[in-house]
Copies of this chain bind each other. A is one copy, B any other.
Amino acid sequence: MGPADDKPHEECGVFGAYDPAGNDVAPAIYYGLFALQHRGQESCGIAVGDTLGPRRILLHKDMGLVSEVFNEERLQKLGGNIGVGHVRYSTAGDSSPQNAQPLVLNYIKGTLCIAHNGNLVNAVELRRELELSGSIFQTSADTEVIAYHIARERLNAKSAEEAVASAMQKISGAYSLIVMSPRKLIGVRDPMGFRPLCIGKRDSTYFLASESCALDAVGAEFVRDVAPGEIVTITETGIFSEFPREKATTAHCIFEYIYFARPDSIIDGIGVYESRVRAGRELARQHPVEADLVVGVPESGNDAALGFSLESGIPYGKAFVKNNYVGRTFIKPTQLERESSVRIKLNALKKVVCGKRIVMIDDSIVRGTTCAQIVSLLREAGATEVHVRISSPPFKHPCYFGTDIPTGGQLIANRHNEQEICTLIGADSLGYLSVKSLSEIIQGRLSCCDACFSGKYPVARPKH
């Protein structure tokens, strides 16, 4: 639904491709980004090189969706067999064309291209240090800080990947990177593996992608995830792997499974769709209720609703129809009419809902206002009871690792307990998944970051 909705947002998606056989990769990157569009709708870009030709990198990036920024003519101009793409979401503050990625830069060894998903926790300190030696910054993105470190390390490094490895000793936080030189594609994931990154292959072409759904979109096979702390270098000869830093406990973002990732992605071995169904099942176990129908808030609540139904035996149904044409240029009703924005986006199926006790499943509550409006839609449609179940714990703490979860004051769970929230949203009962049972989502198989729920941050929070 775009930035106007009441959900946290992933801040980026990355996609890289390299075909040593020499075919153009821009079309595949276009479709890859297209499959990752849910990770960022503000700006996007594609940069391509030609490993068999001159050492130049062509770039096109702009504000807008992938389908708006690129057309056939633009793609055809991006000729080359190696390339990187990026989609970006951003909070209002730094929504500017200057921040669009990939970042293409010239440095001592030629040209380099970087696309980044994540957020550094020591960016302010690193930036300060760089400035003290006379560096200038043209964007407000952490990516530029990373770029500087790679460029500086490159002075003494034998290769781009060695420079990346050295840079990793300095930067701290969440980063899934694709770095492209005119001859190589390098994939990097921070030692804790906050953000996903995986490898795919189709015929002679290698791919790097934020999520496996993008590999499916281009007909590539999933090879494996890039491991936390790993640098993979893809050259004409194949894939090389190294782990420049000692092993750390991983801190995969649990929210990728709850909401961010596309349900058809498999991240670090765990299917996103199944995680959501499991979360719904666990929710049914923790917060059972007598009711006639389980419904999801489209579209993010549907999968957990199915799980809740399977576990509870209460029939699964559809209570809402979503208007598929709500886009960024849509005029919001607050600007023109007294009607709520929710009513334009969602309509309740009166005949389904009327006279029924409803279990309404959503993946999260952020500010609470949208949730209250949806509960109210059900009541107006004749629901006799509305029991809200949330397939994640209450949101209480900000995220410093590449999402835009709002600061404490705006989070309803930060200022109210569950009973109060239940009253505020007008529900008959409210149940959240407990922090303890989060591991149900990933079947206890991964070590995750749940700081937004628990307040326990896997690395020191930024000082500034």
> Which residues on A are within 8 Å of B, measured CB to CB?
27-28, 30-31, 34-35, 37-38, 59, 62, 65-68, 70-72, 75, 96-98, 103-108, 112, 127, 131-138, 140, 144, 147-148, 151-152, 155, 213, 216-219, 262-264, 266, 271, 273-274, 299, 302-303, 306, 310, 315-318, 321, 323-327, 329-331, 333, 335-339, 343-344, 347-352
Contact = CB atoms under 8 A, between A and B. Distances in A.
Contacts of A335: 72
B106 A347 contact: no
Given A28-B337, A216-B347, 10 more contacts: A38-B325, A103-B138, A104-B138, A217-B339, A266-B350, A266-B351, A273-B321, A274-B351, A306-B316, A306-B317
A325 B28 CA distance: 16
A108 B132 contact: yes
A135 B135 contact: yes
Closest 8 CB pairs of A and B: A134-B152, A108-B131, A264-B321, A27-B336, A106-B137, A105-B136, A271-B351, A264-B347
Contacts of A336: 27, 30, 72, 75
Nearest to A266: B351
Contacts of A316: 306, 316
A260 to B, nearest CB: 14
B321 A262 contact: yes
Q: Which of A151, A302, A325, A329 has the most CB of B within 10 A?
A: A325
A63 to B, nearest CB: 10
A34 B323 contact: yes
Given A37-B325, A135-B135, A219-B343, A318 B273 contact: yes
A137 B107 contact: yes
Nearest to A111: B137
Nearest to A27: B336
Contacts of A264: 321, 347-350
A126 B66 CA distance: 38
A324 B38 contact: yes
A414 to B, nearest CB: 28
Contacts of A317: 306
B131 A98 contact: no
B135 A151 contact: yes
Contacts of A338: 219
Contacts of A97: 62, 97
Contacts of A219: 338-339, 343
A358 to B, nearest CB: 15
Contacts of A67: 325-327, 329-331
B107 A351 contact: no
B98 A59 contact: yes
Nearest to A110: B131
A10 to B, nearest CB: 14
Contacts of A134: 107-108, 133, 135, 148, 151-152, 155
A35 B323 contact: yes
A419 to B, nearest CB: 31
Given A136-B148, A352-B273, A263 B75 contact: no
B323 A75 contact: no
A136 B155 contact: no
